Structure formats: C-alpha cells, structure tokens
Structure 1
Amino acid sequence: MPKYEKADVERRMTGAVESLKSDLGGLRTGRANTALLDPVVVEVYGSMMPITQVATVSAPEPRMLAVQVWDKANVSAVEKGISKANLGLNPMSDGQTIRLPLPDLNEERRKELAKLAGDYGEKAKVAIRNVRRDANDALKEDEKKKEISEDDRKRLEDEVQKLTDRHVADTDTAVEKKVQEILTQ
C-alpha cells in the first residue's frame, strides 16, 4: 500500500491557505469585521473559551463592533479578554453589550499590520513546504519498497511541486490583497 496520497497532500496544503485566510481576516483594517475578535479567549466558568462561545459579535456600524454577552456575570471577563488580546480596541460596557469603536489606523500601525500579514504568509508557506517534504519522503519510501518506479517517483514529485507552487501563489495573492486593504483603508 503506497504511503503517498495526492488528495491528502492537496487537502493539507489547502488547509494551510485557508488557515492563513482566517488569520488575515482577524487583522484589523479600517472597517469593522467580526472576525477581528476570533482570536479573543475569555476566562469564564473556570476555563478559557473563545469569545464566540459566550457572546454574539456583530458590526452594527462600519467603524463599530458590538459584543452581546449572554450571561451578565461574564461581561467583565469578556472585557478583560478583549483588552488582553492586544487588538488596540477600547471596550465600553453598556449593560450586557460591549461596544468597541474602531479608532483610525495611523501610518505606523498600518505598517505593523502589513508586516504581520507578511509573517502570517511566511508561516503558511512553511506549512505548505512541510507538506511537500512529507509527500516527497513518502514517495521515496514507496520507491524503496518497490511500490512505485523511479520514473513514477520523479513524475509524482513534479506533481507535488506544481501543487506547492500553486498554493504558495495563492498565499502570496491573499497576503498582497490584505496588505493593500490595510494600507489603503
């Protein structure tokens, strides 16, 4: 039974790109985006939980996020979680609703966010290259076990490289798009 499976390689590479897009969605531009609060974790009921498990996040205005906390006892914990996430947001509590006005991004903060987007892109590329390495190792092992020929291994390695190139290009495109969004809004 060969170790190499193209579908698995493609799934893992696509997963790296999707994870990158999710991470980029959490980077703040000038507009309110509920994904901005996705990385926020809150300490409630003695454990750490994602904010989405204790509250509803919405964007009622282009420059405002609203967090509707389900249990009034958790409002201060949610505020602390938002502050600890270091997103540059100042939570204002209003009963069970926490309002988060998005301040204008200054040039320095825009550059920091653009650099962070680039860092996320590099991490995704590393993940994609690790998948390529694993696939090539599996192909070499399959050849060693005489399950595939040397020609098949070389052909499949080319196929893996094409998949890698395509996913790295997708990563670059996503990062470029996000950087443009950060620098222009």
Structure 2
Amino acid sequence: MDPATALLETEENMQKAVEYIIHEFAAVRTGKASPALIENIDVNVSSYGSSMKLKGLAVITVPEPRMIVIQPFDPSTSKDIEKAILESKVGLNPSNEGKLLRLPVPELSEERRKDMVKMVRSLAEEGRVRVRACRKDGIDAAKKMKAANELTEDGQHDHEASVQELTDKFIKEIDEHLVQKEKELMTV
C-alpha cells in the first residue's frame, strides 16, 4: 500500500465516523417534528415474519411543525408500527387511526432538554473515539510501510503528521455539529 492510498483510506473512514454521528444527531428530538426521529425504528412485522425499518414500511410526512404522520403502505402493519414506536426510546405516543398514525411532538421540558444535551455530548464523544481509532489505524499503516521499507523515517513522520491533521479536522467538525445541536436543543 502506498502512503497516498493509506491516507485517503484513513480520511474516508474518519468521514464515515462523522457522517454516522450527524445521522445520530438527527434522530435526537428537538421539540420539532422530523421524519429522522422515527424513520430508522425497527418494526417487527408479524404478517411478514421479519423486521424492517419504518421508512421501508410507510410514508412519513410532517404536515405541521409538531405533528408526524405515518401512512403505512400496507394498512395491516399499522399495529406493528404503533407497537415499535411505543417500545422505542423516542418518547412519542402514536394515535392509530386505522390507515394512518399521528405522532404529536410535545414541547420539551427544561429538564428533558438538559438530558438530551447530555445524550448528544456522549454521542459526540463516541464520534471522537471513532475518529481516534481511525487515526490509530492510519499511524499503524505508516509503521507497517516503514517496516516494509515503503517509507523512510521522515516519510513516516510526515504521514503521521498528515493523519494527525485529518484527526484534528474531523474532531473539529464533530465539535461544530455538537455546538449546533446543543443550541438547537436549548432553543425554546
């Protein structure tokens, strides 16, 4: 493996870690209705005998700022969808109207907002840990290339410095998303 490929691979892995955290942030409720809050809930569909993501079973719309409407493709799955939402950690209570489900999104209390901020901070730390694991892989790759005489000692140090620059860049990106999400959560 050449140094440029190793660096590119490290950067791609770090980018995936950041994208994962951004996706996880989207699922954290801010008091505003959003399909991202529920679209990845696993629904155990008894009539199909399998588990599927909610977004694969229904159309999810937001007709009002505080209302999510779920319209199942197959109306017989509405009970399974309702059960999955109740069992999930989103804290929303669906109203089953047969062919569709309504999910009112209540205002968040100050205490609940603070809990959400703690949860978002722990998600951000998880993202930082993932980026640091990618850094370790990148540095290990440099050591292997040095051992295989594909890199000089100076080349190894340069490669490690490049990996550290990438790490700093992606951790900064996670921190920026964290600040934005905290602001969003604490805005009433």
Which TM-score band (shorter chain)?
over 0.9
Q: Secondary structure at the match of 1:5?
A: helix
Alignment of 1:11-50 (within 5 A): 11-44=12-45, 45-50=48-53
For the aligned residue pairs, the C-alpha RMSD in angstroms reads 1.1
**2:67 partner amino acid:** M
In the alignment, the residues of structure 2 paired with residue 28 and residue 166 of structure 1 have an alpha-carbon distance, to the nearest angstrom, of: 27
Is 2:177 the partner of 1:174?
yes
Q: Percent identity?
A: 36
**1:79 partner amino acid:** E
TM-score by length of 2: 0.95
| Cα distance per residue 1:118-152 (max 9 Å; x no partner) | 11101111110000000100100100111100000
Alignment of 1:70-109 (within 5 A): 70-109=73-112
Contact 2:40 2:55 in 1 (8 A): no
Query: Runs of at least 4 residues of structure 1 off by over 3 A?
Result: 1-4
Structure 2 alignment gaps of length 5 or more: none
Q: Secondary structure at the match of 1:29?
A: coil
| CA positional deviation for 1:88 | 1.1
TM-score by length of 1: 0.97
In the alignment, the residues of structure 1 paired with residue 107 and residue 64 of structure 2 have an alpha-carbon distance, to the nearest angstrom, of: 14
- What is the number of equivalent residue pairs in this alignment? 185
| CA positional deviation for 1:163 | 0.3
Q: Secondary structure at the match of 2:18?
A: helix
Alignment of 1:58-137 (within 5 A): 58-137=61-140
Is 2:14 the partner of 1:8?
no
**1:15 partner amino acid:** K
| Cα distance per residue 1:21-66 (max 9 Å; x no partner) | 1100010012111100133110111111100111111111000000
In the alignment, the residues of structure 2 paired with residue 86 and residue 26 of structure 1 have an alpha-carbon distance, to the nearest angstrom, of: 10
**2:16 partner amino acid:** G
Contact 1:121 1:172 in 2 (8 A): yes
In the alignment, the residues of structure 1 paired with residue 73 and residue 145 of structure 2 have an alpha-carbon distance, to the nearest angstrom, of: 54
In the alignment, the residues of structure 1 paired with residue 39 and residue 98 of structure 2 have an alpha-carbon distance, to the nearest angstrom, of: 22
